[in-house]
Amino acid sequence: KAGVTQTPRYLIKTRGQQVTLSCSPISGHRSVSWYQQTPGQGLQFLFEYFSETQRNKGNFPGRFSGRQFSNSRSEMNVSTLELGDSALYLCASSLTGTSGAADTQYFGPGTRLTVL
């Protein structure tokens, strides 16, 4: 079974631009979560989508948004990029998270975003 895929793997943008990152979950997984990884702040939860609905959100400004499609693929968007948005953005998928126990999250390779 194929793992979580993320595209593109690398991006270079300039301040003020916007960017869209894509994530395809493991087949059959319906929950997609996004995380930001930086040297200073570590791994931080951005948001989680299930059945096209945002179910959980971390403490990030409104410039960070996401969506999920009917095939469970997800995109996240960052508008008005700032230098501090440079990070590795990781996507994770899991089955449902509604079974009464935490589903295991499986991570993709990440998208490395550099903001100049």
The kind and range of the H/E element at 60 are none
- The residue (of 22 and 58) whose beta carbon lies closer to other proteins is 58
Angle at 106 between CA 102 and CA 109, to 5 degrees: 150
106/25 Cα distance (integer angstroms): 9
How many residues can be counted in the chain? 116
33/47 Cα distance (integer angstroms): 6
58 contacts other proteins (rule: CB under 8 A): yes
Residues 26-45 close enough to bind other proteins by CB under 8 A? 31, 33, 35, 42-45
Contact region for other proteins (CB under 8 A) — 17-25, 63-71, 72-80, 100-108?
100-108
Of 110, 112, 26, 22, whose CA–CA distance to 74 is shortest?
22
Options 68, 81, 85, 97; binder of other proteins; rule CB under 8 A: 97
What mask, x for binding other proteins by CB under 8 A, covers residues 4 to 23?
A: x-x-----------------
Tell me which residues touch other proteins (CB under 8 A).
4, 6, 31, 33, 35, 42-45, 48, 50, 55-56, 58, 90, 92, 94, 97-98, 101-110, 112
